[in-house]
Amino acid sequence: MARKKFYVTTPIYYPNDIPHVGHAYTTIVGDVIARGHKLKGEDVFYLTGTDEHGKKIETAAKKKTKNPKEFVDELVPEFKNAWKKLNIDYDRFIRTTEKDHEKVVLKILQKVFDKGDIYLGEYEGLYCTGCEAYYTERDLVDGCCPIHKTKAEKLKEKSYFFKLSKYKKKLLKLYKDNPNFILPKFRVKEIINRLEDLQDLSISRTSFNWGIKLPFDNKHISYVWFDALLNYLTGVGYLKDDKKFSKFWPADLHIVAKDIMWFHVVIWPTMLMSAGIKLPKTIFVHGYWTFNKKKISKSRGKVINVNELISITGNVDSIRYFLLRETPFGDDGDFSEQALIDRHNNELANKLGNLVSRVSGLIEKFGISKSAPKGVPLDMQDGVFGGKNKLLKKLNEAKIEKLFENYEFDKVLNEIFSFIDICNEYVQNKKPWETRDKKVLYELKESILKIADLLWPFIPESAEKIKKQFSATKIKKSEILFKKI
């Protein structure tokens, strides 16, 4: 039987500045999900990258008196380095300035045009460059963008339009027939309300020129979102590698935050419908992080970039752990250094670190039963061997798997850490340093190996260390995994 596949993506980020904790969050969650599916033996493709065209990038480049390509070329390594530091194991880092992507954009624009879904019109509207989107008067707050709080600019230009409004019924049917298309489910209502006055979408620009020229009118460049969304096709070989594309498409999961939900659950599926391409299975919309209760923003508030983030505990795994443990995936969260340090100390160091160092120390000292006692049939063995580990039995793996499938990562971690508590109590109660009971130590070792497996998607570096240590022929007391702060 062919192996199951899983294709997961993050948004492609604007490389107009270095990545911060918000970008790191989405990319870490993507990595955790990708690793979780790898652990199940699936063929996984994990895509992330950068969104390099559009006015936002052009303006940022101008400020630095650079041309846009030069400008993004300098920022892209910042993203790649950040992801490397955070142990992100992606399969491709896509850049929308890459040739294969441009080809895809041209092809889809032509397809949608040939279908009769694109027409020339005139657009006058209020534009927020920060969002790269037009707003209606109604959406603005005192004439300002609700997200960036900056004044929306009045723009008027000849523009090609995509017949988005024609797809309203199809979208409603899509949400109804596929209850997992938008997750968490509470987001659906908001979208359905907004569909009420669904307008056609302006998909070309003439007021600047950093973008991909329309194949049917080279005086216009493609709207950056029409270009960017298509990265999900390019990323798995659309028009380039049929085998790969047919294996991985449709995407199983697009991860986005609520700021760009509309583009992913309304515009994106409609583009695909028009082009006659299968739709992704799920768009998971997560919440927004604040930093000490303040918006993460360069202009108004505090930005915490990836290097600053790592330097708080000096341990990448504690960041990965914290971000997934602190708030339910889907909700908003608040980041604070103290909260991170607390979880690092109280959970990773005191619970996990303590268990690992204590048990490895005891095993080093007293030895361990290595195999089943001779001549005793498996089902007669007393609670140690042959899957009859009494301690391990207290772990509800099926529940953990279910929680993971439901994207309830905070609960997954909670469940694993409850089992870690049980293991620590087991050591305390059984007192193997007095009894020198090698079976107890064996049970603990097996349990710790299991814990390492389950934690691997979240804290891969520490999990691998634990696995290596406890699989060795001679188990030795470990170096400290999480130094207390």
Quick check: 26 binds ligand MSP (CB under 6 A)?
yes
Angular region, 103: left φ>0, alpha ψ -120 to 50, beta rest: alpha
Report how far residue 244's alpha carbon sits from residue 100's, in angstroms, rounded to the nearest whole number. Answer: 14
Specify the residue, 20 or 35, whose C-beta has the smaller distance to ligand MSP. 20
Quick check: 228 binds ligand MSP (CB under 6 A)?
yes
Quick check: 289 binds ligand MSP (CB under 6 A)?
yes
131 is catalytic: yes
Q: Smallest gap, in angstroms, from Cβ of residue 11 to ligand MSP?
A: 4
Q: Which of 101, 145, 351, 450 is catalytic?
A: 145
Q: Which of 53, 55, 131, 286 is catalytic?
A: 131
Selected binder of ligand MSP within 7, 14, 45, 46 (CB under 6 A): 14
Helix (H), strand (E) at residue 44: strand 43-50
Contact pattern for ligand MSP over residues 416 through 435, marking x by CB under 6 A: --------------------
Q: Smallest gap, in angstroms, from Cβ of residue 228 to ligand MSP?
A: 4
Q: Smallest gap, in angstroms, from Cβ of residue 229 to ligand MSP?
A: 5
Selected binder of ligand MSP within 11, 36, 68, 280 (CB under 6 A): 11
Number of neighbouring beta carbons within 10 Å of residue 420: 21
Of 48-67, binders to ligand MSP (CB under 6 A) are: 51
Quick check: 181 binds ligand MSP (CB under 6 A)?
no
Report how far residue 378's alpha carbon sits from residue 375's, in angstroms, rounded to the nearest whole number. Answer: 9
Q: Smallest gap, in angstroms, from Cβ of residue 215 to ligand MSP?
A: 20
Task: Give residue 245's Cα distance to chain centre.
Answer: 21
Specify the residue, 13 or 417, whose C-beta has the smaller distance to ligand MSP. 13
What is the per-residue DSSP string for 358-373? Answer: HHHHHHHHH----SPP
CB 311 within 8 A of CB 210: no
What is the DSSP pairing of strand 289-291 with strand 153-162?
unpaired
Report how far residue 226's alpha carbon sits from residue 203's, in angstroms, rounded to the nearest whole number. Answer: 7
Using CA atoms, how far residue 240 sits from 213, 272, 342, in Å, is 21, 18, 48
What is the per-residue DSSP string for 428-449? Answer: HHH-HHHH--HHHHHHHHHHHH
220 is catalytic: no
Q: Smallest gap, in angstroms, from Cβ of residue 26 to ligand MSP?
A: 3
423 is catalytic: no
Quick check: 257 binds ligand MSP (CB under 6 A)?
yes
298 is catalytic: yes
Quick check: 238 binds ligand MSP (CB under 6 A)?
no
Report how far residue 292's alpha carbon sits from residue 334's, in angstroms, rounded to the nearest whole number. Answer: 6
In the 3-class helix/strand/coil scheme, how is 134-201 assigned residue by residue? EECHHHCECCECCCCCCECEEEEEEEEEECCHHHHHHHHHHHHHCCCCEECHHHHHHHHHHHCCCCCE
Q: From edge to edge, which strands make up the β-sheet containing 253-257? A: 92-95, 43-50, 5-13, 253-257, 282-286, 182-183
145 is catalytic: yes
295 is catalytic: yes
Selected binder of ligand MSP within 267, 296, 306, 466 (CB under 6 A): 296
Task: Give residue 43's Cα distance to chain centre.
Answer: 17
Quick check: 259 binds ligand MSP (CB under 6 A)?
yes
Report how far residue 380's alpha carbon sits from residue 433's, in angstroms, rounded to the nearest whole number. Answer: 27
Task: Tell me the number of residues near ligand MSP by CB under 6 A.
Answer: 19
185 is catalytic: no
Quick check: 12 binds ligand MSP (CB under 6 A)?
yes
Quick check: 7 binds ligand MSP (CB under 6 A)?
no
62 is catalytic: no
CB 386 within 8 A of CB 379: yes
Quick check: 13 binds ligand MSP (CB under 6 A)?
yes
Specify the residue, 102 or 443, whose C-beta has the smaller distance to ligand MSP. 102
Structure tokens at 410: 């905070």
Specify the residue, 108 or 256, whose C-beta has the smaller distance to ligand MSP. 256
What is the DSSP pairing of strand 201-202 with strand 153-162?
antiparallel
Quick check: 256 binds ligand MSP (CB under 6 A)?
yes
Specify the residue, 296 or 475, whose C-beta has the smaller distance to ligand MSP. 296
Specify the residue, 231 or 469, whose C-beta has the smaller distance to ligand MSP. 231
Q: Which of 62, 85, 149, 295 is catalytic?
A: 295
Selected binder of ligand MSP within 182, 260, 316, 454 (CB under 6 A): 260
Report how far residue 386's alpha carbon sits from residue 467's, in angstroms, rounded to the nearest whole number. Answer: 20
Binding site for ligand MSP (CB under 6 A): 11-14, 22-23, 25-26, 51, 228-229, 231, 256-257, 259-260, 288-289, 296
Active site residue ranges: 20, 23, 128, 131, 145, 148, 295, 298
